Structure 1
Amino acid sequence: MDLIKRVQDYYNWTLTLTDPRSKGWLLVETPWPTLCGIIIYLTSVYLGPKIMRNRKPFKLNNLLVVYNLAMAALNFYIFWQLLTASLRLNYSIFCEPCRQVWTPDEMQIVDAVWWYYFSKLLEFSDTLFFILRKKDNQLSFLHIYHHSTMFAFWWIGIKWVPSGSTAYPAIVNSFIHVLMYTYYGLAAIGPQMNKYLWWKRYLTIIQLIQFSGALILGFNGLRIDCEFPLWMQYTLCGYMVSFLVLFGRFYVNAYIDDHKQRQKEKHKEKLLANNNEETIKDKNVIVNGKKYE
């Protein structure tokens, strides 16, 4: 009971540090909507494949085209709102304090950060569509970790630090999501689009660059003693390290190891073809001047 009281007291103290500009906004006031969303998401991940086990996969191509292109449009809106306001405010990419001011440009950033947080709830649909289409191989630890934690961390962002240096990770990530959802929207149209989708591999490379850049900026903020919440800087650095490890492993498995495996298979096929040719030649015998096979 003493531990519970101390946790409650600590949480009540943190509430005195929240940003008043997002007070009362949808899903922001208490952690319960976010926690319930994550619990429902994780429960769906656990139960969904079991429910679908003996059912036929749904064909959702038309829905996927609409969903992915709509998400690309939403992320472009977020990207543009954050970028234009931060440029007008001359935000520094290296360190920008979160000032609790109510100017139109600052409120444009706060509003866009809320939409960015809300988009993480909408992105739970990515996993739902995998389950309904019985693409269980896509339900990796990376996928589930990424979706569940992003929703939680950006609730913290919109409630405590909805502007300042918070803007830049959202700017970069929302732009990458424009590319990503555009890719998946085009892929859902059908196999006739495959010749235009050669750039999937580069999406992962861009994401790795994003995480590396965010980690460098996070360490730099600690080095220069940036006027931004210290706990947020440490959280950012730790979170980016986890993404670098997980996405780096995914890249190695999906592209480097897979490429090596394909090369080995091609080499085996070539050797097998050569051996077959040699076998055919060996079977060609000449008897009394006549050739027999």
Structure 2
Amino acid sequence: MADLFNLKNVEVGMPTLERPFGIKLWDGFSKFWTAIFGYAPENFRFTVGETYMSTLQETIIALVAYYIIVFGGRELMRNRKPFVLNGPFMVHNFYLTVISGLLLLLFIEQLLPTLVNRGVFHAICSYNGGWTKPLVTLYYMNYLTKYLELIDTIFLVLKKKPLTFLHTYHHGATALLCYTQLIGHTAVSWVPIVLNLCVHVVMYWYYFQSARGIRIWWKKYITIMQITQFIVDLGFVYFASYTYFTSTYFPWMPNAGRCAGEEFAAIAGVVILSSYLLLFISFYFATYKKDVKTGRPRRNTGRDALIAMAGQQLPGADGTTASIDDKRNSGAVTTGRSGPTTRSRKA
């Protein structure tokens, strides 16, 4: 394991197009991967039925288990006191911040030369642009992190926080979305993934700091980042899907040519990402829009626009409703102890 920290074979120097951060991150990632799996990441192949979590059956079983655990756990917690899990919650958000940041840097290192030398269309529509062997390895690593992110909801259940449709639907659908794009070989996959990683670095860092008791005023802008992310995502995905279907079935219509990927993956991407955009816009207006008539801020719950999976906030152990006082101006939530924490509303 000591060899993992040996940078002898890692390329280091002034930043270049192929080495934008001054150090060849892929070299370090390759050493780590090889030490864990016994072969270089360049030799990784996502093979349905052989690779871990590569079949639809495995994915469905994992997601069904997730929902059983979440809603079954909610019922088990109904007459119990909420757990205080600040320490584990900080650790969870910290390692997701680090993982998201490292994956983001690796994606940038792989994509920057392609974007500069071959252009955006090649990067999103060519197998040689957006579906290279290193990128497929990173797509798979990003896919696996979606199962780590399901732990977000476990914390909500144990802390007896409300479970909204937005939260529970988004977490499950994202794992399914990443799976469909992996088996569908969509070269445009890197666009939503890179943007999502940017948001997750900020978001998980926010939740890490909030768990430490640090009051942060810019929670609202995380939701704005999420909405912007989906708008940009859909611009690329709609374009890639449009030019694929028109060039394939309606060649007389204006198009830019074929785009790499399977049709079912394109449809899944369009449907799921579109639903995200609608849900997050609804959440934003329900949460942050002020009442024009009275000038008073609305409660930061989003209940008017989002369907709560839990129906309402879980009752407390004593039969009363657990007290949550949303602080509108700061985006923080004050619970029974001193110092602000936040309600998890992750994407």
TM-score range, shorter chain: 0.7 to 0.9
Q: Which has the higher helix share?
A: 1
* 1:232 aligned onto 2:265: yes
The residue type equivalent to 1:69 in the other structure is F
Match of 2:146 in 1: 120
* 1:45 aligned onto 2:70: yes
The residue type equivalent to 1:114 in the other structure is Y
Match of 1:56 in 2: 81
Larger Rg: 1
- Deviation sequence 1:205-252 (CA, Å, 0-9, x none): 011111111112222221434422344333322222211111011001
Per-residue deviation, 1:100 = 7.1
Match of 1:282 in 2: none
For the residues of structure 1 that align with 2:64 and 2:293, how far apart are their CA atoms? 39
Answer yes or no: is the 8 Å Cα contact 1:58–1:132 preserved in 2: yes
Q: TM-score, normalised by structure 2?
A: 0.63
The residue type equivalent to 1:25 in the other structure is T
The residue type equivalent to 1:205 in the other structure is I
Match of 1:157 in 2: 181
Counterparts of residues 23-34 of structure 1 (less than 5 Å): 23=47, 24-28=50-54, 30-34=55-59
- Deviation sequence 1:23-72 (CA, Å, 0-9, x none): 132211x2222111101111122211110011111111011111101001
Per-residue deviation, 1:158 = 2.1
For the residues of structure 2 that align with 1:262 and 1:185, how far apart are their CA atoms? 32
For the residues of structure 1 that align with 2:201 and 2:291, how far apart are their CA atoms? 27
Instruction: Choose the corresponding residue for 1:211, options 222, 230, 235.
Output: 230
Secondary structure, aligned partner of 1:53: coil
Answer yes or no: is the 8 Å Cα contact 1:93–1:165 preserved in 2: no
Secondary structure, aligned partner of 2:281: helix
For the residues of structure 2 that align with 1:259 and 1:73, how far apart are their CA atoms? 41
Secondary structure, aligned partner of 1:22: coil
Answer yes or no: is the 8 Å Cα contact 1:94–1:220 preserved in 2: no
- CA spacing shift, 1:259–1:78, aligned 2, 3 Å: farther
- Deviation sequence 1:89-136 (CA, Å, 0-9, x none): 3364446235279xxx9222111111110011011100000000011x
* 1:263 aligned onto 2:287: no
Q: TM-score, normalised by structure 1?
A: 0.74
Count of residue pairs the alignment pairs up: 236
Match of 1:84 in 2: 109
The residue type equivalent to 1:87 in the other structure is L
For the residues of structure 2 that align with 1:198 and 1:206, how far apart are their CA atoms? 15
For the residues of structure 2 that align with 1:109 and 1:40, how far apart are their CA atoms? 29
For the residues of structure 2 that align with 1:79 and 1:184, how far apart are their CA atoms? 19
- CA spacing shift, 1:98–1:183, aligned 2, 3 Å: same
Match of 2:40 in 1: none
* 1:107 aligned onto 2:129: no
The residue type equivalent to 1:132 in the other structure is L
Per-residue deviation, 1:257 = 4.5
For the residues of structure 1 that align with 2:170 and 2:61, how far apart are their CA atoms? 17
Per-residue deviation, 1:264 = 7.0
Q: Which has the higher contact order (CA 8 A, sep 6+)?
A: 1
Could you list the runs of 5+ residues in structure 1 that have no partner in the other structure?
A: 1-19, 266-293
For the residues of structure 2 that align with 1:84 and 1:259, how far apart are their CA atoms? 47
